[in-house]
A and B are shown apart, each in its own frame.
Chain A
Amino acid sequence: MQHFPILSIVTLFLGAFLTVIFGSKNETVRKFIALVASSISLILVLMLIKPVMIKNNVIQYWLGNWRPIHDWAIGIGLEVDALGLFFGIIAVLTIFLSIIFSFKYTKKDSETDKYYVLFLMLSGAVLGLVFTGDLFNMFVMIEIMTFAAVGLTAFRNYQEGALEAAFKYLVLGSIGSSMVLAGTITIYSQVHTLNMAQISALLFNNLTPSALFAFALLLAGFSLKAFVVPFHPAAPDAYMSAPSSVSMAFSGMVNKAGVYAIIRLVYVLFHAMDFKSVQILLIIIGTITMFIGVTMALAQNDFKRLLAFHSISQIGYVITAVGVSTALGLTAGLYHALNHTLFKGLLFLTAGAIFYATGTTDLNKLGGLARKMPQTAAIFLIGAFSISGLPPFNGFVSKWLVYQATFQANLAPVTIIALLVSVMTLASFIKVAQSIFFGQMPKEFENVKEVPLSMRIPMWIMAILCVITGVLPNIVTKYLVSPAVTAALNIGKYIDLMMGNGYSEKILGKPIEIPAVDFTLAGYWDPIAWLVLFALLLIAVTIVAVAGGFNAVSLPTEVDDPKYDVFFSGEASEHSHVKGNDLFWGLKHDLRHYFGFMHDAHSGIINDYALWAIFTTTIFIVYIFLLVP
């Protein structure tokens, strides 16, 4: 049991190295190694659920068996508590599904052995980041993650813009990592240890100016990894250019690693969530991220770039909920992080399926694909309704918890902005559905077929998980989210493992009790609802049968009768599909000053993006020095 965390990390790195040695010639060998490595990791992490989440232990493992001497840590330790395991489950699920998807998806690429090597290293780095208990180890894992991500972004270097996206990601990621390193070193000069539990114990009520400076730098560095708004411009370029199975991993794992690092930093390391000013800072950043993400997404013309901006917007929801810092807020944030991985991963895989079948993701060129790819269309609709927050899918539950948390904390403007963002998310997905799946099909897509089975299986698994987490929120909260929330708010157990039992009780006082989350305010799920639903479904089936929907014979459409053509006011029918740029012109016209300003601001020049990052870091440093006591 003690060895499961380190084994799950090492298996992935070992898989990467074995692929280099054995897999460079033979296709089957490298797919086999990738599949086995990710499955072993998945099984090991899932077996950790029972001891860590249900029985509430914290697993500790010292690398190289360098145990602490006289209560001072001298080696690198892995500490797996419920918060880390929550993000670990998200990560390992994404890895497994992405590898299955990429078997057929990379069929037309050359040199796929390097793809699998880089992908396994990315996965190992993310798992290492969430399981580690040492601050410098976190920095090293962030660096491995950045390299692998840059390599994978530039993988299809014949594609338009892949190389420049990788370069921008490298420069901005390097700035972020440098800030993390500077913050780590400043902390080290204060407490002379790198183990996070020890730092947390030593910094309690002991915030000197250099600790505050380190806090600002670390917060800025981790926010850059999570792609919060002023640090975000590299993200849409990178998500757009990477292959879709990798984009799914980016938005599912790499973003969440940044969010995990922020939670660990603010809640555990610095105990900073008791300060009102830090809460306000996180809520303001989160709200700005939500709003700018979704408004930029409405104006995009490329499917994957639109999805990338929506990723940024949903991470804004998570950061806002985390910033509210009540138990309900943290539950909402973590549940939304889990849901975001599921539905955003699903949408990116759909984009990959469309790219595989047609060769383009431009919204102005596609159309009417629902008749040729019906399963992909159904899966896309499930993902789109999940992200917009329609019941009974999972987005509704977590978004409703976010609204409740912010309204109960007396932050009515944030609730209103969150609702507006949700409606605009629905708008942009209606735009995508009309542009790609419905409408009239251009002539060149006559021979498009449904994607192969091994690409459809991960999509169906994710769609089913979306529905399950939406229909059974009580079970998901009780077993997965509440232990993680308890672990974030009561860090006593985390510290005790290092400093000896009873230490945290003397310093921190009694642990905080987490009340059970009540879902009845969401109007959800009592037995009456099930009865009503059943009766209504009876009516629905009857009506559709009466309308002749089930009988294909009574509604013939293959007959060559002009009454089955599309109505064109009596003129000759030509291809005129309303898509892409043509939709929402009224909205775009009304807000044209705002959209023009935003379009010019995202200029694509790397110096501008670096300017935003450094300017925001400066604001963080000044704010934290002035306001946090």
Chain B
Amino acid sequence: MILVNYIACIILIVLGFYVILTKKNILKIIIGMGLIDYGINLLIISIGFNPGGTAPIFTFTELKPESFFVDPVPQALTLTSIVIGACVTAMALSLVIKIKEKYGTLDADKVRRLNG
């Protein structure tokens, strides 16, 4: 329950949406997609936090009923999500390379041959 974290991730997500909605250069749109992903990753980590808990790494003998650790599941989810974010960015960038070769421009107002 860290208020600063939550406010930070809301700001990141809203900024990401703002970039996707208003910027015309395709590369900036990809950066906006990345911002949304990182904002959500921060949200995932912050949800699993228990104040005063330690890292959830124990051997069998150390684990007692009164051990208090942060939730390990969101950390696994965050790892998956970071990997997915990296893959999305890679695919988007490869598409941008081919678009630049074919259309000659990176302006979203001109990459619009399919419309109506």
Contact = CB atoms under 8 A, between A and B. Distances in A.
B112 A603 contact: yes
B99 A163 contact: yes
Report the interface size class on chain A.
Answer: 35 or more
Interface in A352-370: none
A250 B24 CA distance: 29
Given A163-B95, A602-B115, A607 B108 contact: yes
Contact of A143 (B26, B84, B108): B84
Interface string A156-181: 01001101111100110011011001
Contacts of A599: 115-116
Interface stretch (A48-56, A182-190, A380-388, A395-403): A182-190
Contact of B22 (A140, A151, A607): A607
Interface in B44-76: 44, 47, 71, 73-74
B43 A182 contact: yes
Given A170-B95, A605-B108, A181 B20 contact: no
A293 to B, nearest CB: 14
A595 to B, nearest CB: 10
Interface in A598-623: 599, 602-607, 610-611, 614
Nearest to A140: B80
Contacts of B96: 167
B88 interface: yes
A607 B20 CA distance: 6
B14 to A, nearest CB: 10
Given A150-B91, A170-B91, A182 B116 contact: no
A297 to B, nearest CB: 12
A614 B13 CA distance: 12
B88 A174 contact: yes
Given A163-B99, A164-B112, A602-B115, A607 B21 contact: yes
Interface of A: 136, 140, 143, 147, 150-151, 154, 157, 160-161, 163-167, 170-171, 174-175, 177-178, 181-182, 185, 188-189, 192, 194, 236-237, 240-241, 299-300, 599, 602-607, 610-611, 614
Given A178-B36, A606-B108, 20 more contacts: A136-B77, A140-B80, A143-B88, A147-B91, A163-B95, A163-B103, A164-B103, A170-B88, A175-B33, A182-B40, A185-B74, A192-B71, A299-B116, A602-B115, A603-B115, A604-B114, A605-B108, A607-B21, A607-B24, A610-B20
Interface of B: 13, 17, 20-24, 26, 29, 33, 36-37, 40, 43-44, 47, 71, 73-74, 77, 80-81, 84, 87-88, 91-92, 95-96, 98-99, 102-103, 108-109, 111-116
